[in-house]
Amino acid sequence: MASNIRGLHHTAFRCRDSEATRQFYEDFLGLPLAETLEIGITKTGDQSQYLHTFYQMDDGSFMAFFEAPEMPFSFKDQHDFDMHIALEVPHDHMMAMKAKAEAAGMECRGVSDHGFIHSIYLRDPNGYVVELTSKTDIHDEAVDPTINGARDKLDRWTKTKREAGVGPDQDPGFGRVETGAEVIGTAGERL
Ligand SMILES: [Fe+2]
């Protein structure tokens, strides 16, 4: 069933410094800077200026950034669970980028075996985790919801929470969710 959503056009994030960001995404990762929008410059010349940059991936989609010097933003080293960006690469390229990152003294975690994908984890100059991930042979089967019970697992989780009185507006930190299900790690391991 087609959703009519063709794919990711761009995903946009704040950046500290557009040039430092370009050095990571273009010089290190190899994504060409495709467009730079100078926003807020008017004929009177007295408006705030923001810079919006776009880096193109092989499928035509973009990673985009806003540098907005007058608009406060708290940069921090993000935890993977809170936000990360996963870019698909061939396995050989992932290994080459791991070697390149380590040679440059950059943060690089992995290779992590998640079963359907293998991944390494880098960090960009803005604190965002950038995952480079390679599909394994079982990928397409693993993400087939007619086989893997994705909806059943979500429903079991939600039922347990609701029965414990935890509604959708509850912020994280309330405690454990004990669904009684066998817990399987992201690499398929039994926990
Ligand atoms: Fe990921």
Q: Which domains does the chain have, with CATH numbers?
A: 8-73 (3.10.180.10)
Q: What integer pLDDT is reported at residue 183 of this predicted model?
A: 78
The environment of the single-atom ion ligand 1, i.e. residues with CB closer than 5 A, is 86, 131
Q: What integer pLDDT is reported at residue 102 of this predicted model?
A: 97
Mean pLDDT lowest for which of 99-108, 117-126, 170-179? 170-179
Nearest alpha carbon to residue 19 among 140, 125, 134, 96: 125
- Percent of the chain exceeding pLDDT 90 equals 83
Instruction: Tell me how far the alpha carbon of residue 39 lies from the centroid of ligand 1, in angstroms.
Output: 32
pTM for this one?
0.91
Q: What integer pLDDT is reported at residue 71 of this predicted model?
A: 92
- Percent of the chain exceeding pLDDT 70 equals 93
Mean pLDDT of 74-85: 96
**At 150, is the pLDDT very low, low, confident or very high (cuts 50, 70, 90)?**
very high
Rounded distance between C-alpha atoms, residue 123 and residue 127, angstroms: 6
177 C-beta neighbours (distance < 10 Å), count: 13
The residue written with tokens 């003294």 in the block is 105
Instruction: Tell me how far the alpha carbon of residue 103 lies from the centroid of ligand 1, in angstroms.
Output: 23
Note the pLDDT tens digit of each residue in 2-47: 899 999 999 999 999 999 999 999 999 999 999 999 988 666 666 7
DSSP 35-80: EEEEES--TT--S--EEEEEEE-TTS-EEEEEE-TTS--------T
- Length, in residues, of the chain: 191
